[in-house]
Amino acid sequence: MPFKEKLFNTVRTVLPYLKRAVYAFFIGSILSVILFRFVPIPFTPLMIIRVCEQWGNGKSARLVKDWESLDDLSKNIPLAVMASEDQKFIKHWGFDTDAIAKAYKNNQRKRKRTIHGASTISQQVAKNVFLWQGRSYLRKGFEVYFTVLIEIFWSKERIMEVYLNVAEMGDGYYGAEAASRKYFRCSASKLNKDQAAWLACILPNPRKYSPTKPSGYLQNRHAWIRRNMDNLGGVKW
């Protein structure tokens, strides 16, 4: 049998299964997004990865988290993470076009194979809840897809609530409540502006930075976040 005919027969055999897999992915992803609009996220891919890393390093598994509704969190913490991570969060539909353009120019200039920067809070939630870690155009494509879904099916309040409950905020600590008790010995409902800003400070690299032992860089970042918080004034959903 000629090669082209074999290839055609193979494609014809595989194509129906491929179509079913694609349909199953779309249906499953939409249903999972709808489900997580109403129920707490039990765990994320990153949580599983970190536990496996701890086991691999011969350490005891540590996964500290405590889900809290947005209404039970201090109003200062969503304000702080917006001031730090995404000041246009309330206004955009999942993507900050200005930041994307800036990141694109930066990536073109560096000529790297990975894409960096420009992630909104919505995109970070999509990545944290539904995707693996790493930087590649493939993962970025899935991130865009899930960002669109959560912007369609979730409210801004829900996106922020999920973010503040699943974000890594220390080695084995996830969410504002766990981080508040670790660093400040208080509930996240009691966080003042300075404490909330300190938590927002460590988000880029929570296993490296600590609000209890701030470097000069972290202190400057804290001051910058506090200025942004004052400029934003508050959060109006």
C-alpha to C-alpha distance for 154 and 148, rounded to whole angstroms: 10
Does 116 fall in a domain?
A: yes
Classify strands 64-65 and 173-174 as parallel, antiparallel or unpaired: parallel
In a domain, 22, yes or no: no
Domain assignment present for residue 171? The answer is: yes
Does residue 163 lie in a domain region?
Answer: yes
For residue 62, the SS3 value is coil
Q: Is residue 165 in some structural domain?
A: yes
Cα separations in angstroms, 102 against 98, 184, 228: 6, 36, 20
Eight-class DSSP state of 125: H
**Model pLDDT, residue 133:** 83
Question: What does the DSSP 8-state code read for residue 204?
Answer: T
Give the C-alpha separation, 162 to 164, whole Å: 5
Per-residue pLDDT at 114: 46
Are the C-beta atoms of 179 and 201 separated by less than 8 Å? no
Task: State both tokens at 156.
Answer: 């801004």
pLDDT for the residue 156: 98
Question: Is residue 160 in a domain?
Answer: yes
Structural domain total, the chain: 1
Buried b (16+ CB within 10 A) or exposed e, 94-121: bbbeebeeebeeebeeeeeeebeebbbb
CA nearest to 164, candidates 151, 153, 173: 173
DSSP secondary structure code for residue 117 in this structure? -
3-class DSSP state for residue 78? helix
Find where tokens 């200062």 sit: 76
Query: CB–CB of 235/90 below 8 Å?
Result: yes
The reply to whether 29 falls in a domain is no
* Alpha-carbon distances of 117 from 5, 78, 186, 198, rounded to whole Å: 46, 20, 32, 21
In this predicted structure, what is the pLDDT of residue 5?
65
Per-residue pLDDT of the chain (237 residues), as tens digits, is: 566 666 666 767 778 888 999 999 999 999 999 999 999 999 999 999 999 999 988 888 899 999 999 999 999 999 999 999 999 999 999 998 887 777 667 766 665 544 455 689 999 999 999 998 888 889 999 999 999 999 999 999 999 999 999 999 999 999 999 999 999 999 999 999 999 999 999 998 999 999 998 999 999 999 999 999 999 998 988
Domain range for 216 is: 68-232
Q: What is the pTM of this model?
A: 0.88
Instruction: Give the span between the Cα atoms of 73 and 81, in whole angstroms.
Output: 13
* 129 part of a folded domain: yes
Contact between 199 and 117 under an 8 Å Cβ cutoff? The reply is no
CATH number, domain containing residue 184: 1.10.3810.10
